[in-house]
Structure 1
């Protein structure tokens, strides 16, 4: 999807990140009501949660998939496939496709430190996880938002590899590349520098 340079799309995470706030617990009915209100407000994308992660989210996506939103695209959240299997074999990705959401946001590791220490795989295998997952979702007709987790930390530590992760997603057909400041500690000047470098390299719409 190509956007004009002056077009800004709004992506709302109230139904997932918002529900992780202390003291907040949305019922399925709450989430459906909030979905309607956010759509009426004019949000472009509304992230509904992680399908299959719990019965409440499963019930939400089942009900929401039959709703006719006037403006927003309902988005399911998840991760790239697990190592050692194909995307088609990954229960998480299959559940996301089955959710009925027309758009999917998946996160993948963009910091090589986390590739080796958290996933305990090689940098090359991580690129395969990203590409295979995006390609699988695209083959199932989904708009794909790739969330590059810890992108700015990864860019500061190993910029060429962080860019390779984005390249893997873009080459597999990702519609959006979202640069995540997961720890929230990157300074605006550095964020601007990194975003500029990404925009110069990729034609895919960029999110932050």
Structure 2
């Protein structure tokens, strides 16, 4: 019989990313039944972000303030922050070293060292520690503005979309403006 290919292509327009079905599922690629000619609709990581998160400038979301309560806010800026994961010589490891803290390499100009490469990390106390480079982590940060005009940089994990189901812990700590108004009004006021 004819060998059926177990690869499937990302169905996003002009995307040539192909997956082995099992690997794709393990990697968390979005797969769902679709119309002919694609038996399964697959979206690769590059195009998954748009579907899943869709966190864009101007979007109204719910964000976590430093008081650990959640408030309505608007995304007004998006930035990426790069951290390096390193293993120190004495056995500890750190996954949030800033590239500019590596004194043995000019990482800002040349990018990260190779995995396993020996590097020197400068600490805030001006100590130099030997370490080996593991990998780089790139985090997206979202600048949001709350209704009181205060602004914060939040990680993706601290932002929730209004049209998505909110986790219980977020719902329990969500502060609505109406609730705030109610507490701010004198006790003899009534809502009309």
TM-score (norm 1): 0.19
Instruction: Choose between structure 1 and 2: higher strand proportion.
Output: 2
Instruction: Choose between structure 1 and 2: higher helix proportion.
Output: 1
- Mark the structure with the bigger radius of gyration: 2
